[in-house]
Amino acid sequence: MSLGWMILIFVVLLIAGMPVAFVMGFSASLYLLFSPQASFLDMAPQKLFAGMDSFVLMCIPFFILAGEIMTRGKIADRLVDFANLIVGRWRGGLAQVNILASMLFAGITGVALGDIAALGSIFIPAMKKQGYDGPFAAAVTASSSIIGPIIPPSMIIVIYGAVTSVSIGALFAAAIIPGILMGLSQMSIVVFLAKRRAYPKIKIPLTTKKLVFGTKDALVPLMMPAIIIFGILSGIFTPTEAAGMAVLYAFVIASLVYRSLNWRDYGEIFRTAFLFSAKLLLIVGCGSILAWVFGIENVPAKVKGLFYSVSHNKYILLILINLFLILLGMWLDCSASIILFAPMLTPLAMEIGIDPVHFGILMIVNLNIGLLTPPLAVCLFAASDISRDPFGKVVLAVLPFLIASLFTLALVTYVPAITMTLPRMLGLI
């Protein structure tokens, strides 16, 4: 079977709605089945397990479990209250609280759909009750959810580091400022639209006592990402050890400090965490088979030649890479895109003088924007499902936030200091 036929089968199955892990595994297996080298098919199971057999990737189930414990333990409520104290008094305050809460919650889940599940059910009905139109409430919730996979700890960052052998600690440090910028750009859109549409301004009395108690309540859950990031950056923990510590910390505060969970809750928590982990690691394993097939067909060299056939200019190539990644993000899951294309594009970026840490954050920011762009747009579908508004109206409402996100992407792409300053200050690169 030729590479062209395999890609055609891949695209058809993807459009048909088959889960992306099975699309990658099935199309790669068909290629190997009809390969002149019969031994290639025997290698597929080895590549499947070798792709998942990584000490770094062991942290993914632990991070997911820690996030699930924190989410089920109603920790999000304390972060929402704290965010409300900070920005709730502004015009359009509830929309601002939505975004700020997502920025704070990012350090706990690191998963966009987890953010929507935890915060969407809180904010979308509350915003509609206060007079915000439904599509806008859904758009704010969906757009702020993509901050989660950018601000560390993030599953996508771990996967990029694993497939490109780039330091996870350096990537975590590099992602902090871009994640904050993404949140601030979205908050600026809310400021503009709130004034233009005369969204409500709620008077919230702020006293020193309220601020102290609100900060104290928020500090306990916010200590979890702080422990993870500090532990990894200082070299005290490996990413996997840090993830294990996160599970222990989440268990202590949810079960022993706040007592918001009992032993019966943990059955469903473990079930959900295991299923999500299995899904993600299956994508990694099947993606490894397809990436190996790409290597057999010398696809990385062909992709590099295709880009160089247009231009050798660094800035033009960055535009082309970003356009390619945006199109990729419209159709393919973030983790699958990174597994398949990060090993191809990272060497190209290094050839034109882009540090792999910088390029990794660029790629992650770009692909997460794909969560807001049809036809995939999983975050928009999830938010519109909660708000019960037509998907088309939510797409129109998200356009200003999409523009703000693209502006942040441009800054991350062409201002390397945004990503590289913190890792360099900490001596990680």
Residue 39 pLDDT > 70: no
Tell me, what's the pLDDT at 148? Answer: 85
Q: Which residue has the higher pLDDT, 11 or 321?
A: 321
In terms of C-beta density within 10 A (0-12 exposed, 13-18 middle, 19 or more buried), how is residue 362 classed?
buried
Please compute the mean of the pLDDT values over residues 336-359 and round it to a whole number. 93
Residue 38 pLDDT > 60: no
Q: Which residue has the higher pLDDT, 80 or 298?
A: 298
Question: Could you check whether the bond before residue 221 is cis, i.e. omega within 30 degrees of 0?
Answer: no
Could you give the C-alpha distances from 326 to 321, 333, 373, in angstroms and in order?
Answer: 9, 12, 9
Please compute the mean of the pLDDT values over residues 303-317 and round it to a whole number. 91
Three-class secondary structure assignment of the chain? CCHHHHHHHHHHHHHHCCCHHHHHHHHHHHHHHCCCCCHHHHHHHHHHHHHHCCCHHHHHHHHHHHHHHHHHCCHHHHHHHHHHHHHCCCECHHHHHHHHHHHHHHCCCCCHHHHHHHHHHHHHHHHHHCCCCHHHHHHHHHHHHCCCCCCCCCHHHHHHHHHHCCCHHHHHHHHHHHHHHHHHHHHHHHHHHHHHHCCCECCCCCCHHHHHHHHHHHHHHHHHHHHHHHHHHCCCCCHHHHHHHHHHHHHHHHHHHCCCCCCCHHHHHHHHHHHHHHHHHHHHHHHHHHHHHHHHCCHHHHHHHHHHHHCCCHHHHHHHHHHHHHHHHHHCCHHHHHHHHHHHHHHHHHHCCCCHHHHHHHHHHHHHHHHHCCCCCHHHHHHHHHHCCCHHHHHHHHHHHHHHHHHHHHHHHHCCHHHHHHHHHCCCC
| 1 in a structural domain | no
- Among the listed residues 212, 204, 240, 243, the one whose alpha carbon sits nearest the alpha carbon of residue 225: 243
* Cβ–Cβ < 8 Å for 255, 261: yes
Residue 362 pLDDT > 90: yes
* Cβ–Cβ < 8 Å for 90, 191: yes
pTM: 0.89
| 47 in a structural domain | no
Q: Which residues contact 39 (CB under 8 A, 6 or more apart)?
A: none
* Cβ–Cβ < 8 Å for 40, 32: yes
| 13 in a structural domain | no
Please compute the mean of the pLDDT values over residues 253-275 and round it to a whole number. 87
Listed range (45-54, 132-141, 196-205) with the worst mean pLDDT:
196-205
Residue 223 pLDDT > 70: yes
> For 272-297, b where at least 16 C-beta lie within 10 A, e where not — what string?
ebeebbeebbbbbbbbbbbbbbbeeb
Please compute the mean of the pLDDT values over residues 208-227 and round it to a whole number. 81
Listed range (28-42, 89-103, 353-367) with the worst mean pLDDT:
28-42
| 414 in a structural domain | yes
| 22 in a structural domain | no
**Mean pLDDT of all residues in the chain?**
87
- Per-residue pLDDT reduced to its tens digit, 143-173: 999 998 899 888 899 999 999 999 999 999 9
- Among the listed residues 208, 221, 188, the one whose alpha carbon sits nearest the alpha carbon of residue 92: 188
| 144 in a structural domain | yes
How far is Cα 373 from Cα 294, in angstroms, rounded to an integer?
A: 27
How far is Cα 79 from Cα 318, in angstroms, rounded to an integer?
A: 37
pLDDT band at 177 (very low <50, low <70, confident <90, very high): very high
Instruction: Look up residue 27 and give its amino acid.
Output: S
Radius of gyration (C-alpha) of the chain in whole angstroms: 22
Tell me, what's the pLDDT at 160? Answer: 94
Residue 5 pLDDT > 60: yes
| 79 in a structural domain | yes
Ranked by mean pLDDT, which of 57-66, 187-196, 204-213 comes out on top?
Answer: 187-196
Please compute the mean of the pLDDT values over residues 187-197 and round it to a whole number. 91
Q: Which residue has the higher pLDDT, 210 or 158?
A: 158
Please compute the mean of the pLDDT values over residues 351-369 and round it to a whole number. 95
Tell me, what's the pLDDT at 341? Answer: 93
Tell me, what's the pLDDT at 422? Answer: 93
pLDDT band at 262 (very low <50, low <70, confident <90, very high): confident
Tell me, what's the pLDDT at 37? Answer: 67
- Per-residue pLDDT reduced to its tens digit, 398-421: 999 999 999 999 999 999 999 999
- Among the listed residues 60, 108, 73, 58, the one whose alpha carbon sits nearest the alpha carbon of residue 268: 73
Please compute the mean of the pLDDT values over residues 277-283 and round it to a whole number. 88
Please compute the mean of the pLDDT values over residues 311-335 and round it to a whole number. 91
Tell me, what's the pLDDT at 1? Answer: 65
Tell me, what's the pLDDT at 421? Answer: 94
| 35 in a structural domain | no
Tell me, what's the pLDDT at 4? Answer: 84
Please compute the mean of the pLDDT values over residues 188-213 and round it to a whole number. 82
Q: Which residues contact 181 (CB under 8 A, 6 or more apart)?
A: 408, 411, 412, 418
Report the number of distinct structural domains present in the chain.
Answer: 1
User: What are the φ and ψ backbone dihedral angles of 351, each rounded to 5 degrees?
Assistant: -65, -30
| Residue ranges making up the domain that contains 191 | 54-425
